């Protein structure tokens, strides 16, 4: 963005640069249905690792049960890797996918 400054009848053009560092939220963790985990276990993991509140975790667990899968967390790839690892270490069937 160029900004003009008027000093003593002379005009100077000053360049202003704004640098915005933005992490793109272009991935999500998809949780898949299985016959191994209880609703309570899934809800506990979603609260603990995805930072869902209880209602949100219950809704995701229901969606997974009835639809076979649900997107449970959106973010940049770096922030999702640890969360997904925690879910899979707790025997949940999940993976990171691009949006």
45 burial class (0-12, 13-18, 19+ CB within 10 angstroms)?
Answer: buried
What is the average per-residue pLDDT within 15-23? Answer: 44
* 3-class secondary structure, 67: helix
Share of the chain above pLDDT 70, in %: 77
Distance between start and end Cα atoms, the chain: 32
Which tens digits make up the pLDDT trace of 47-93?
A: 999 999 999 999 999 999 999 999 999 999 999 999 999 999 999 99
How many residues are present in the chain? 99
| Pairwise CA distance, residues 99 & 93, whole Å | 19
| Residues 31, 87 contacting (CB under 8 angstroms) | yes
Look at 23 and 31; give whichever has higher pLDDT.
31
Q: What pLDDT score does 24 carry?
A: 78
- Tell me what the pLDDT averaged over the chain comes to: 85
Instruction: Please give the CATH number for the structural domain made up of 22-98.
Output: 3.30.1390.10
Domain ranges of the chain: 22-98
The Cα-based distances of 9 to 4, 5, 6, 15, 22 in angstroms read 12, 10, 6, 19, 40
């Amino acid at each position: 963005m160029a900004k003009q400054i008027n000093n003593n009848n002379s005009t100077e053009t000053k360049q202003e640069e704004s640098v915005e560092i933005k992490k793109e939220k272009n991935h999500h963790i998809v949780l898949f249905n299985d016959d191994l985990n209880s609703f309570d276990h899934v809800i506990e993991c979603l609260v603990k690792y995805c930072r869902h509140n209880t209602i949100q975790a219950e809704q995701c667990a229901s969606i997974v049960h009835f639809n076979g899968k649900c997107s449970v967390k959106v973010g940049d790839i770096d922030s999702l890797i640890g969360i997904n690892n925690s879910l899979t270490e707790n025997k949940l069937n999940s993976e990171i996918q691009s949006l």
